[in-house]
Amino acid sequence: MPTLTPNIENRVRKLAKPSNAAQGLQPLFEAVSNSVYAVEDRFEKEVGKGKISISVTSLSSPDKIEIVVSDNGIGLDTNRYEAFCTIDTDFKRAKGGKGVGRLFWLDAFKEIIVESVYNTTNGRSRRVFSFVLNNKEQIRPSVEDQPAAALSIGTTITFRGLRTQEYADTFPKRADTFLRYFSAHFIADFLMGDGPTIEVDLDGDLTTYPQAVADLTVGKPLKADSFELKGFGNFSIIGFTCRAEASTGLDGKHQLHLLANGRTVETRKVDNLLGVTNLERNSERDLVFHGCVSGEYLDARVNEGRTAFNLTEKTLNQISRGCMEKVRTTLLPAQVEAYVKERQANYQSFVSRYPTFGFDDDETQLERVPFHATTAEEFAAGLVKYQIRREEDRQDALQTLIEALDLERVPANFQQIVIDAAKGIQASEQLALAQHVVRRKLALELLEKLIKRIRTRDGKDDDHHLEKTLHSFIVPMGVRGDNPKEIKSRAHELWIVDERLAFTRAFASDKRLDAILAKGGSADRPDLLLWDLAYGLGVTESDELDSVNVSEPLRTVMIVEFKKPGRTSYPAAEDQLENQITKYLAQLQGGEIESFDRTRVRVAHDCIFHCYVVADIIGDLKQQLSNWETTANGQGRIRPLKNQYRGSIEVIQWQDLVNDAWMRNNATLRAAGLSRSRPTLTTGLPPHSEVSREQAFEPAGK
């Protein structure tokens, strides 16, 4: 009767081709696994007596490479030899063998020679054969059942030359890369430590396993008794805490090795599932976790090459999550508890910097973000959708209230609904205002440090650089705020100078007057010139913003000059503040400022100029201002402009500028109805305030 004839060449051609180093090494992994099985068959419970050696020469040359895998296992006796000669044999089915691993050899290597010594009923025998890719004759014996009483039992397989370009491209060419992938593939077996000794000789450089991996473990293995995952049956886990080198070559730090029939099939990064950033054990820090998972469900669902599971990614994720939950609760409870406390502290620090995300209690918010979340970005990414939903729900509720007012009959509980809605709006605004206060606090702290640094560095090389930095922090230098393409002009902190300037765009910072004025103007560059009253200083002709006509002449302009903190010398005539300011005014009064869009705005002849100089009143400047009036706080100086100019020049001390800004920030805090009681969110106050800058607050009623 006719039978089906196997086409080995076609079968090998259809095998999945390697696309990375791990897959390129798969044929060698198959050979090593076969040697492990042979050792187990011979020594059974004394498998520790087994020895496997792997010798690799000419690793960097795909054409010349030679790999010799030797073991002292049971050898290819009659039954095992027949199984070797049978494709898809079920000889090793009990161990998960599919009988196709050696087909990968044919796909990868040009030449394969097998030599084996084994016991028979008549004594010890030896056989040698070539294994070739051919449809008619794959096994070509050169020695068959030859007596070999003097030889040791075991099998040696020699592989020479990589056959296909796919294997030539992906097979590791460096010793460290080879060892990295070899260790990663068998690490679960090595961690278990109950297998044979394996020696890897890479062009004379020897590495011994499992000792090389055992040296990386810290403490005893952690075992989880058999536990059930709903829908997947029973599993067991053996966990190891290892030094970081154990994860070299693997994706991530913490690993979960999924085994089938005692062999690693897939290793999955579980950093996010474990959550713990670094483990600590036996006084060693920065350790990593490796868990080895076994279960009948996995044994029954591995592919024929034992390179992957016949399971969806969703299923593998479910199994991994369930196993890691067991690891957290059973194997590493102390480390996880410490991590949870640190994570809570990180979250509270996050909310202190970004109060708008503190719209629910800490426990609720932490449950909404992934367990591995510990950074500001990770917390924000997990909470932003809840923040959006919360705001949308509030807006929907308000819209419902508005629509209810159009109904013929208003609900009886309408008053309470309005009260609740108002509370929700207030809570939302308080959080937003808290965010505003915190951001300004950081800005003011930086400003103070800059001023202090400039004073202490007086006369040093970085003096000028720091002075420019101070100016640029308050408002970027060399820009016009009305230039829509000048993005950096929007990142100013002009509220420090005057709260009304928080959103102004009509200013010129360190720009020449001849570049600002439509006609005339000199190369003089005021530190800061502001002119658009609608955004900066209020409305000229009307209290209604919409009534502003930009063609009307400007009747209020602000000029700000910054003098270096700590400066004591003002010797020249041009250093006289009044001379410097009136030089600017002479060019501005009656002139036309040309905005970036070419719109011209005339400066009225009766324009009021608010001129401010920010400086330390010491040295020459103190003498220069000795006949000026003092300001209300007794620290600054002020003088009205004379003759044809209207307005004033006010000299503000740097510390007063900062203190006033601190006070306004505190006023914002109080206006929001925030109480100072929680040590996770700090706000800033001036040093002489009755409340310290370090005192904390939280939204009232939270």
- The pLDDT of 151-171, averaged and rounded, is 96
Q: Cα 169 vs. chain centroid, distance in angstroms?
A: 32
How many angstroms separate the CA atoms of 11 and 31, rounded?
Answer: 19
3-state SS, residue 14:
coil
345: how many CB neighbours lie within 10 A of its CB? 12
Percentage of the chain surpassing pLDDT 70?
Answer: 83
How far apart CA 258 and CA 260 sit, in angstroms, is 7
Which structural domains are found in the chain, ordered by start? 8-208 (3.30.565.10), 216-331 (3.30.230), 356-410 (no CATH), 445-660 (no CATH)
CA distances to 68, 278, 362, 369, 382 from 379, in Å = 52, 19, 12, 6, 5
Burial of 398 (0-12, 13-18, 19+ CB in 10 A): middle
Residue matched to tokens 């998972």: 293
The answer to whether the beta carbons of residues 518 and 592 sit under 8 Å apart is: yes
Q: pLDDT, tens digit, for every residue of 42-91?
A: 998 898 899 999 999 999 999 999 999 999 999 999 999 998 888 765 54
Location of structure tokens 């070899």: 182
Report the Cα 403 to chain-centroid distance in Å.
45
Q: For residue range 16-34, list pLDDT tens digits in order.
A: 899 989 899 999 999 999 9
Measure the CA–CA gap between 103 and 33, rounded to whole angstroms. Answer: 14
**Alpha helices of 329-413 — where are they, by DSSP H?**
333-353, 362-368, 376-404
Position 270, amino acid: V
Whole-number Cα distances in Å, 202 to 22, 52, 115, 167: 17, 14, 21, 18
Beta strands in 77-122 (DSSP E): 109-120
* Three-state secondary structure call for residue 672: coil
pTM (whole model) above 0.75: no
Place of tokens 């030896």: 126
Long-range contacts from 485-489, C-beta under 8 angstroms, 24+ separation: none
Measured distance CA(602)–CA(517) in Å, rounded: 9
Q: Which of 139-143, 270-274, 425-429 has the lowest mean pLDDT?
A: 425-429
* 3-class secondary-structure state, position 232: coil
Residues in CB range of 175: below 8 A, 6 or more apart: 59, 202, 203, 205
- What pLDDT is attached to residue 229? 95
Higher-confidence residue of 198 and 388: namely 198
Residue 535 has a pLDDT of 40
Q: Put residue 204 in one of left, alpha, beta given phi > 0 → left and psi -120 to 50 → alpha.
A: left
Residue 604: its H or E element: strand 600-615
| % the chain with pLDDT above 90 | 43
**Mean pLDDT for the stretch of residues 336-355:** 89
Instruction: Return the amino acid letter for 250.
Output: L
| Angle subtended at Cα 406 by Cα 401 and Cα 411, rounded to the nearest 5 degrees | 55
- Give pLDDT, residue 630: 95
Q: In whole angstroms, give the CA distance from residue 175 to residue 179.
A: 6
Q: Which residues contact 177 (CB under 8 A, 6 or more apart)?
A: 21, 249
Enumerate residues 6+ apart whose C-beta is below 8 A from 325.
Answer: none
Give me the residues paired with residue 112 across strands. Answer: 159
pLDDT tens per residue, range 557-609: 999 999 999 999 998 877 789 899 999 999 999 888 887 677 788 888 889 99
Q: Rg of the chain over CA atoms, in angstroms?
A: 40
Give the best-scoring range by mean pLDDT among 367-381, 495-509, 519-533: 367-381
State how far the Cα of 89 lies from the Cα of 132, in Å rounded to an integer.
Answer: 18
Please give, one letter per residue, the 3-state secondary structure of 469-506.
HHHHHHCCCCEECCCCCCHHHHCCCHHHCCHHHCCCCC
Mean pLDDT of the region 164-185: 92
Sheet holding 123-131, edge to edge: 139-147, 123-131, 109-120, 154-162, 66-71, 51-57, 197-202, 205-209
**Span 234-247, average pLDDT:** 91
Q: Residues 547-552: contacts with CB within 8 Å, 24+ apart?
A: 550/599, 550/601, 551/601
Q: What size, in residues, is the chain? A: 702
Buried b (16+ CB within 10 A) or exposed e, 354-363: bbbbbbbeee
Contact by Cβ (8 Å): 317, 285: no
Nearest to 207 by CA among 176, 228, 234: 176
Asked whether the predicted pLDDT for residue 348 surpasses 70, the reply is yes
- DSSP 8-state secondary structure symbol assigned to residue 313: H
pLDDT in tens, 366-425: 999 998 899 999 999 999 898 888 878 777 777 777 776 666 666 677 677 677 766 666
The reported pLDDT for the residue numbered 407 is: 65
Dihedral sign for Cα 673, 674, 676, 677, please.
Answer: positive
Question: 268 with 256: CB under 8 angstroms?
Answer: yes
Q: Helix (H, G, I), strand (E, B), or coil: what is residue 153?
A: coil
Composition of the chain by helix, strand, coil, percent to 5: 40, 25, 35
557: left (phi over 0), alpha (psi -120 to 50) or beta: beta
Residue 547 is given by DSSP the state G
Residue holding tokens 């001129």? Answer: 611
Q: What is the mean pLDDT of residues 105-117?
A: 96
From 354, 324, 67, 33, select the one nearest 195 (Cα to Cα): 33
Return the DSSP state at 357: G
Taking Cα atoms as reference points, which of 154, 115, 107 lies closest to residue 132? 107
Q: In the numeric block, which tokens belong to residue 71? A: 């073991």
| CB-CB neighbours of 624 under 10 Å | 17
